[in-house]
Amino acid sequence: QQKVQQSPESLSVPEGGMASLNCTSSDRNFQYFWWYRQHSGEGPKALMSIFSDGDKKEGRFTAHLNKASLHVSLHIRDSQPSDSALYFCAAKPNYNVLYFGSGTKLTVEP
């Protein structure tokens, strides 16, 4: 079983809308969490990291972490067609191995 589960598998939102992506881990040793974004034909790029409980906001992107429930979410407000991509949640324990979820494909429709 994968240690990091993501939902939904795919998501479609209208331009200007809010996209919400979810991630749950099954390992209480996970301390550090990232959201990565991958556009077609490219490698994944780190979008944001979150290490403490609560919200972290960077521009249109807000990540939320709840370590007690091992749940991380990513919210994208005012979604743009350029946000269409594959989004990965990734988590690390307190050593240098990163575990990825299977990804959420986001489509922003003009």
Partner 1 sequence: EAAVTQSPRNKVTVTGGNVTLSCRQTNSHNYMYWYRQDTGHGLRLIHYSYGAGNLQIGDVPDGYKATRTTQEDFFLLLELASPSQTSLYFCASSDEAGGARDTQYFGPGTRLLVL
Say which residue the tokens 């490698």 belong to. Answer: 43
- From the list 49, 56, 61, 77, which residue makes contact with partner 1 (rule: CB under 8 A)? 49
- From the list 22, 32, 67, 77, which residue makes contact with partner 1 (rule: CB under 8 A)? 32
Say which residue the tokens 């007690």 belong to. Answer: 68
What stretches of 10-97 show up as alpha helix (H) in DSSP?
none
59-78 footprint of partner 1 as x/- string (CB under 8 A): --------------------
Smallest separation, CB 39 to partner 1 (Å): 11
Neighbours of 84 (CB within 10 A): 18
